[in-house]
């Protein structure tokens, strides 16, 4: 595996790949995303809906949506490109274009890949990977969103995100997943008392410990899928001093061992 991860303020792209079939439970992305399979196929399960995505489609993934996925290799390899979009970029898009086209009508997370969409997708990935200036990358991203929205296929990406306390805590933890966070520290970042933080998170059926683990697991999965780092190092970067404890928590969370993701 090799690290193919690039990012700037508004866009993050990664190449995800694996040499073996694996099934992951409770996968959640914290930003709206678009995924394109380049080799193999992906089963996406949301509630009672089961979709099989192929290279002829784009997968449109809303933020904070819990999915079950199965990555299925072909000729010994599964490979896909993943694009994460910032809320700020989507706000720019909606401000400039959303009034000019009919309402989104996507009823499936899988969008057929038209020639125009493929052209815009390839240009965007190339702009990010060539590290073109941020404004040029943003221009390509807006073009892809425009193509999706014109065909009524961008609905899940345009859902308004409410910045709940859970989301605010999550953003703080994401700055340093390996840090030993305390409730007092998190509350201080938000100018809240510790008891107020706990009470308000409880009202959202959350706790700061749950959020820390959710962020760490998401970060670890990303590192496993997009880098060649040893699992022990990924465990440490994710805040686990013990590789065995990390493996146990990963298996409990996703339903498979970290080594099986590769």
Residues 41 and 111 in one domain: yes
| Residue that finishes a domain, picked among 129, 158, 187 | 158
Residues 19 and 130 in one domain: yes
- What would the two tokens of residue 60 be? 């449109």
| Residue that finishes a domain, picked among 127, 158, 189 | 158
Q: Is 31's pLDDT higher than 90? A: no
In this predicted model, what pLDDT tens digit does every residue of 175-205 receive, in sequence order? Answer: 889 999 999 999 988 888 999 999 999 999 9
The residue among 76, 36, 72 whose CA lies nearest residue 57 is 36
Residues 17 and 96 in one domain: yes
pTM over 0.85: no
Q: Is 107's pLDDT higher than 70? A: no
Q: Of 217 and 61, which is predicted with more confidence?
A: 217
Confidence of residue 119 (pLDDT cuts 50, 70, 90): very high
Q: Is 168's pLDDT higher than 70? A: yes
Beta bridge partners of 33: 61, 84
Q: How much is the mean pLDDT over the chain? A: 87
In this predicted model, what pLDDT tens digit does every residue of 79-101 receive, in sequence order? Answer: 999 999 988 888 888 888 876 54
What pLDDT is attached to residue 108?
66
What pLDDT is attached to residue 67?
92
Mean pLDDT value across residues 132-137: 92
What pLDDT is attached to residue 4?
37
Beta bridge partners of 45: 50, 68
Give residue 153's domain range: 6-158
- What would the two tokens of residue 115 be? 């020639």
Alpha-carbon distances, residue 6 vs 117, 138, 188, 189 (angstroms): 21, 14, 31, 28
| CATH number of the domain enclosing 217 | 1.10.10.60
What pLDDT is attached to residue 248?
97
Mean pLDDT value across residues 156-165: 74
């Amino acid at each position: 595996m090799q690290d193919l991860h690039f990012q700037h303020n508004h866009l993050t792209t990664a190449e995800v790949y694996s040499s073996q079939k694996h099934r992951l439970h409770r996968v959640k992305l914290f930003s709206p995303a678009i995924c394109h399979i380049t080799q193999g196929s992906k089963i996406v399960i949301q509630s009672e809906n089961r979709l099989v995505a192929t290279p002829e489609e784009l997968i449109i993934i809303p933020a904070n949506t819990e999915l079950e996925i199965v990555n299925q290799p072909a000729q010994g390899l599964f490979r896909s490109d993943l694009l994460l979009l910032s809320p700020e970029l989507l706000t720019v898009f909606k401000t400039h274009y959303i009034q000019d086209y009919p309402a989104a009508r996507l009823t499936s997370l899988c969008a057929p890949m038209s020639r125009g969409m493929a052209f815009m997708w390839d240009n965007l990935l190339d702009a990010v990977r060539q590290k073109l200036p941020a404004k040029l990358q943003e221009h390509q991203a807006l073009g892809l969103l425009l193509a999706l929205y014109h065909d009524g296929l961008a609905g899940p990406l345009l859902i308004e995100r409410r910045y709940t306390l859970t989301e605010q805590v999550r953003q703080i933890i994401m700055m340093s997943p390996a840090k030993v966070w305390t409730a007092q520290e998190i509350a201080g970042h938000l100018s809240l008392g510790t008891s107020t933080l706990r009470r308000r998170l409880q009202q959202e059926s959350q706790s700061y410990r749950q959020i820390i683990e959710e962020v760490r697991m998401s970060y670890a999965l990303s590192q496993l899928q997009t880098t060649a780092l040893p699992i022990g190092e990924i465990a440490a970067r994710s805040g686990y001093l013990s590789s065995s404890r990390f493996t146990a928590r990963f298996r409990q969370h996703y339903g498979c061992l970290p080594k099986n993701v590769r």
